[in-house]
Amino acid sequence: MVTGASSGIGRATVVALRQRGWDVVGVARRADRLAELADETGADVFAADLTRQADVDALAAYASSSPVHSLVHVAGGALGADRVEDGDSDGWLRMYEMNTLSAQRLVKALLPQLRRTARDEGTHVDLLFLTSTAAHTAYPGGAGYNAAKAGEAMVANALRQELVGEPIRVIEIAPGMVHTEEFSLVRLGDAEAADAVYEGVEAPLTAGDVADVIAYSLDAPGHVNLDHVTVRPVAQAAAHLVHRGPLAPRA
| Of 62, 145, 198, 216, catalytic | 145
Contact call for residues 98 and 78 (beta carbons, < 8 A)? no
Give the integer Cα–Cα distance in Å for 234 and 73: 25
Give the integer Cα–Cα distance in Å for 24 and 11: 11
Q: Is the dihedral of CA 41, 42, 47, 48 positive or negative?
A: negative
- Catalytic residue flag (residue 145): yes
Give the integer Cα–Cα distance in Å for 216 and 226: 10
* Largest Cα span, the chain: 62
Question: CA 180: distance to chain centroid?
Answer: 13
Contact call for residues 153 and 172 (beta carbons, < 8 A)? yes
Q: How many C-beta atoms lie closer than 10 Å to residue 75's C-beta? A: 26
List active site positions: 145
